[in-house]
Structure 1
Amino acid sequence: MVRESRREKERRRKRQRWSTKLALGAAVAVLAMFALLLINNQMNLNAKNRELESQINEVQSQVDEETQRASDLEDYQEYIQSKKFVEEIAKNKFGLICPDEIIFKADE
């Protein structure tokens, strides 16, 4: 058997400590880079999420406006099919009156 001298044992221990510290440092560096990557991706996802929520709100607003417009058009369609609408058009465009109405004209 070959016996190691004290110096050689000490050198081997120092190398082992150094390699252990180096491996630990490399592992910490890799974990730090991984953490930074995750944080960056999370920030990008949050920004994209805010952008998409804004688009959703905008589209929902447009849907609400169009729903209101459709409702208004349905109401107008009912109105133009009514007798009241026909009477208003007859009075305003054609100058017609109902038999029981009296027209007063102002002197100029």
Structure 2
Amino acid sequence: MGRKISSYKKGLRKRTRVILFVVIVFVIVMSIAYRRLWEKSAALQKEEAQLEQQIEKAKDKKQELKDKKEYIKTKEFIEKTAREKFGLFYPDEYVVRPSK
């Protein structure tokens, strides 16, 4: 009878070791998977921040272009362009240029 108990205890110890080994392997595999997911998450967060910056720059550029479009429609811009690029003036204006 002592042998039965002894062999039973050995079998129990063996099963316990196998189960412990499986649990340890499972924990290691899950740790590796978690680490990969964490790294991927960090990379995606970094990319998201960069995209947010690009969106903000694009919004600023859009507003700048919208303002420029409105300015181009003004009489001030038309007069300025006519004077600077085409050398045009109103009939009652005189151009005074400094002597060289």
TM-score normalised by structure 2 residue count: 0.90
Distance apart, 1:94 and its partner CA: 1.6
Q: Given the alignment, which residue of 34, 47, 52 partners 1:55?
A: 47
Q: Given the alignment, which residue of 32, 41, 54 partners 2:24?
A: 32
CA distance in 2, matches of 1:93, 1:17: 101
Q: Residue 88 of structure 1 corresponds to which residue in structure 2?
A: 80
Distance apart, 1:62 and its partner CA: 1.2
Q: Residue 66 of structure 2 corresponds to which residue in structure 1?
A: 74
Q: Residue 106 of structure 1 corresponds to which residue in structure 2?
A: 98
Q: Residue 5 of structure 2 corresponds to which residue in structure 1?
A: 13
Equivalent AA in structure 2 for residue 23 of structure 1 = R
Distance apart, 1:99 and its partner CA: 5.1
Larger radius of gyration: 1
Equivalent AA in structure 2 for residue 15 of structure 1 = S
Equivalent AA in structure 2 for residue 40 of structure 1 = I
CA distance in 1, matches of 2:40, 2:70: 45
> Which deviations, in whole Å up to 9, do the C-alpha atoms of 1:23-57 show, x marking residues without a partner?
11111111111111111111111001001111111
CA distance in 1, matches of 2:77, 2:71: 6
Which structure 2 segments of 5+ residues have no match?
A: none
